[in-house]
Amino acid sequence: MSDARNAIFAKIKAADAKRGNASPAAAKARLETPPPQLVPAMGKPAAADALDLFIAKAIELGCTVADCPSFDDVPAKVTAYLNEQDSPLQVMLPMDEDLSSLNWLQAGLTVSAETSRQALDGNTSVTRAIAGVAETGAVAVTSGAKYPVSLGLLPDRHIFVLKVDEITGGYEDVWRLARNAKDNQGVARAVNLIGGPSRTGDIEATLVMGAHGPRTVHIVLIGPTS
Amino acid sequence: MHVTSKDFDEKARAAIADDQLQMGLFVFGKIFPLMRDAKAAELPEFEGLRDSARDIKTNVLENLGTYLDAFEARAEEAGGRIHWARTAEEANSIVERLCEEVGAKDIIKSKSMVTEELELNDHLIDKGYSVVETDLGEYIIQLRNEKPFHIVGPALHLNAGQVSDTFYEAHKKHGRTEKVEDKVKLVEEARIVLRERFKNADVGITGANFLVAETGQIVLVTNEGNADLTATLPKRHIVVTGIEKIVPTLDDLSVFLRILARSATGQDTSNYVSLYSGPRRARDADGPEQFDIVLVDNGRTDMLGTPVEEMLRCIRCGACLNSCPVFSTVGGQTYGSVYSGPMGAVWTPALASVSSAAKLPNASSFCGKCEEVCPVRIPLPSMMRHWREKEFEAHLTPSGQRWGLGMWAWLGKHPSLYRAATNLAGIGLRLISKGRSGKRLATWLPFIGQGWTQSRDLAVPQEPTFLSQYKEGRRR
Ligand code: SF4
């Protein structure tokens, strides 16, 4: 143990003795079985409302959303979006079965699985998310082979593929998914909640999109949306 | 932490005379509080969440050792390394050593108040590293060699023209010879220049908004996503943060996420809310090879068990600054400390010293607005009062003020003299005052009263005095 660590803990102990409210057993128990906290109604919408709420909030955050009947239709939806954006018909994909097995060529798209910084910079990426959060409109992703974090950060356009039944209520639902997905090293290295395009308000408090990360975030939503 | 709070008075005068700054401050002091109030009103549970946040942090401070211990164990399981630093010097040399280990040259950094407090950039730049801030506001003030204006908006005191001048000078060496003035184009220019830094940096340094004891994760909250690029691209990610940032569990974290952005910028959520633990794993396609967390004390444990312990609940949202009539009149630079406004008036004396920051707890109207908006319900005015008492005990109060207070106390103990003196003062005031719309105002006072009337008028008490009314039984 380092001297610094010992010294810091000694001071904490001294304060505990003075105050007399420390309860190590209760604190440990809290970590083992996290007690639920106050969850606002917004964070636990009725199942029937979650989808509409998610879409409304995501749009508020500056995302665009497209309906898509099934996985097979994703490439066509991506082509339509890129044409609308006047962007090259090329997409960067992660090593994800869900996505790589689709017929991108047929939809007129070139596909690349390259993940070098240079290759990603300025391009379009398509990734899968673990959840859409109705409370805020953010999309949740976790790092791994299927989602290299830089794929969601370096390209100019980021397209999420999300299933309607992956839409959850609030933060608590994301934590539940993250805890369930734990491996022997704990939860995924990165859990990111992404609420639309990168933005800044640092110059004269004026909102400007496209600060460092994607300038646009598009959500392709699979399943019956009405 | 270098503190220049002694010059508060002169800087305040200059700030009040600075028209451009005043315009910025007006927008700021009006719009931000309005946005906060609107977002808080949209969430019926907001007040309840504030109570929960306060209670969670109280529990954390009472069990800090247990939670830090658990955090350390989980973070190490995830492959991270934990380093402990008692002081700024210790923290800075740990970071320096970590950069040396990977043979780093180029460092990118995302905004962190703790590293401002440690003056980490100066330390690393002195040692020959190139350190570039990536939060746009922080990048601008780094180029201008200034301290942050506000803990949330470091460059909000500048207008687009000033930013344009700064970029024009700084970006010439990146081959950008055209001067841009439009805000969108300024952001674009910073994006282009910083992109290259992101792609080529060896080390990324971030702070942490929270540390989760349950899982060993660090939490980063930004709108720009710059912290995520900093945490993802370089070989090594170094997190530098204060030991008080801990929350017990992910459920507890939700409470803070729900109040932070609403209090800070009036948003439902920040754009990027990210939780990181450890270096890249076997199945990860990217991420840093090493992940280090430097847990900094630097005066925090000295606050435990004292009347300012509750200040350690602070989540650096800046709501107290936005709502403060003093901050929104003089601006952040005036405070001479990285922590300004009401929160700074408590943090700065605690982390630096009462003597170097004596002016700050006095730069308050004690209107109580800061406490009213603080999402973790820190009783800021009473903590400022605590420092004022300390300051008085340590004989740091200006002599005029001490003399005046001493005189007052002495008079208070001699009721007949007190009555005579107040009567006399009343008569004197009425003699020198002018009537204005039914009220009498003194526009000029002698002696120490000069200080008051230099910048405002004094309302003259109505006749007759309370005591004489009382005597005549004219109580209402
Ligand atoms: S003192 Fe309260 S209001 Fe001020 S920055 Fe800290 S948490 Fe926010």
pLDDT for A139-193, tens place per residue? 999 999 899 999 999 999 999 999 999 999 999 999 999 998 887 888 999 999 9
- A95/B285 touch (CB, cutoff 8 Å), yes or no: yes
Q: Report CA B417 to chain centroid distance, whole Å.
A: 45
User: Could you say which residues from 62 to 81 on chain B have a Cβ atom under 8 Å away from some Cβ of chain A?
Assistant: 62-68, 70, 74, 77-79
Beta strand pairing call for B210-212 and B246-247: parallel
Evaluated on CA atoms B57, B61, B62, B68, the torsion sign reads positive
Classify residue A186 by its DSSP letter: B
- pLDDT of residue B476 exceeding 70, the answer is no
Would you say the CB of residue B350 lies under 6 angstroms from ligand 1?
no
Residue A77's pLDDT is: 98
The token pair that represents A27 in the structure block = 């604190």
Nearby residues of A218 by Cβ (< 8 Å), 6 or more positions away: A63, A64, A65, A66, A81, A157, A158, A159, A160
| pLDDT of residue A46 exceeding 80 | yes
How far are the Cα atoms of A72, B440, B441, B470 from residue B462, in angstroms, in the given order? 83, 8, 11, 14
Phi, psi of B208 (to 5 degrees): -150, 135
Residue A47, pLDDT > 80, answer yes
Residue (of B262, B296, B452, B464) closest to B374 by Cα position: B262
The three-state DSSP-derived secondary structure of B357-422 is CCCHHHCCCCCCHHHHHCCCCCCHHHHHHHHHHHHHHCCCCCHHHHHHHHHHHHHHCCHHHHHHHH
Q: What is the mean pLDDT of residues B457-468?
A: 75
Length of chain A (residues): 226
Contacts of B78 (CB under 8 A, 6+ apart): A185, A186, A189, B216, B277, B278, B291
In chain A, what percentage of residues exceed pLDDT 90? 85
* Residue range B102-121, pLDDT digits in tens: 999 999 999 999 999 999 99
Question: Candidates B339, B376, B383, B384: which one to mutate for ligand 1, based on the most atoms within 8 Å of Cβ?
Answer: B376
DSSP 8-state assignment for residue B341: H
- Write phi, then psi, for B182 (nearest 5 degrees): -70, 140
What is the torsion angle, in degrees rounded to the nearest 10, for the CA atoms of residue A37, residue A38, residue A41 and residue A44? 10
Instruction: For residues B284 and B314, give the distance between their C-alpha atoms in angstroms, rounded to a whole number.
Output: 35
Q: Tell whether the model's pLDDT for residue A1 goes beyond 70.
A: no
Q: How many other β-carbons are positioned within 10 Å of the β-carbon of residue B366?
A: 12
Inter-helix orientation angle B160-171/B183-200, to 10°: 40
Contact state of A12 with B79 under an 8 Å Cβ cutoff: no
Record the pTM.
Answer: 0.90
Three-state secondary structure call for residue A219: strand
Strands A131-133 and A139-142: what pairing?
Answer: antiparallel
Alpha carbon distances (Å) from B150 to B31, B187, B190, B266: 15, 20, 20, 16
Query: Are B63 and A23 in contact (CB < 8 Å)?
Result: yes
Nearest to A19 by CA among B61, B299, B349: B61
Higher pLDDT, B186 or B365: B186
B314 lines ligand 1 (CB under 6 A): yes
Top-confidence residue, B399 or A73: A73
Where is pLDDT greater, at A118 or B461? A118
Distance B259 CA to ligand 1 centre (A): 11
Using pLDDT thresholds of 50, 70 and 90, give the confidence band for residue A16: very high
Nearest to B78 by CA among B375, B278, B343: B278
CB B113 less than 6 A from any atom of ligand 1? no
- B360 CB near a chain A CB, below 8 Å? no
A157 and A215 Cβ atoms separated by less than 8 Å = yes
Residues, chain B: 476
The best mutation among B256, B378, B382, B383 to test binding of ligand 1, ranked by most ligand atoms within 8 Å of the C-beta, falls on B378
The answer to whether the complex's ipTM is over 0.90 is yes
Task: Characterize the bridge pairing of strands A157-163 and A124-128.
Answer: parallel
What is the per-residue pLDDT for A209? 92
Residue B66, token pair as written in the block = 């247990």
Alpha carbon distance B87, B85 (integer Å): 6
Q: Over the stretch B371-423, which tens digit does the pLDDT of each residue have?
A: 999 999 999 999 999 998 888 787 666 666 666 677 777 777 888 877 777 77
Task: Give yes or no for residue B259 CB within 6 A of ligand 1.
Answer: no
